[in-house]
Structure 1
């Protein structure tokens, strides 16, 4: 299921009429954001870009005291700002790339962790595209407000699967 707010609908409409833009990105950076390493840490799925996380070194009690729950921890840790991995490009082109990355993450998460349901959040604000995700948990509230149109200053797309 995909949900968007009105700001994202407007941005996607603008993207439809734009021609394809060229995005300059190194293959290393493309690989990092397109198919990052995911690691399971205390029933949380975390992006581990450089394959450095060691579960035994994670102080999970401290983490829960900082983030209140697993959803908050994942949503905070699993944030990638797409613009940080590419050379400057037109904002609609960055959004189009982010949609492709979102689909890739969906496939990879479903394949590697079929026992979980996920929420991927794509947001656009002030020219920057940010992606993050978290596991959907019945016993924890959503990381986002239910009404996405309450976010007036950013365009948001949410994909749950």
Structure 2
């Protein structure tokens, strides 16, 4: 699948988004990218085990809790996943954390139906991360190659008719 198609399929009308490595520090991309989702009125969950709230959004400590709640069509705090068709995740974590997160995701039964897109921001991945995405069957949903959602996100929203 071309990168353009992967970017398009990252977005969807009933999609839930998550930002792993979301940050309260305005100089960090974890803050800027979370801001991008909020400014586009997209339902986004910041993921960070050390924070409780970022940009007025309740923080969830890990992605697995979001996936389980989407499967159950339930809520986690202020986030309602009752009508969500799946999850697209922006990664802003160091590669070893990104890889560990992928392994956690793979431990959830049915994860391949829930995960709709993985956007590895520059600096969040290395060869081991790409190999892990391949080994768990999600590589065809990965946006990488130094693609940044702040640059290509608008195109993805337009191509997905959002």
TM > 0.5 fold call: no
Question: Which structure ranks higher in relative contact order (CA pairs < 8 Å, sequence separation ≥ 6)?
Answer: 1
TM-score, length-scaled by structure 2: 0.31
Q: Which structure has the larger Rg? A: 1
TM-score (norm 1): 0.31
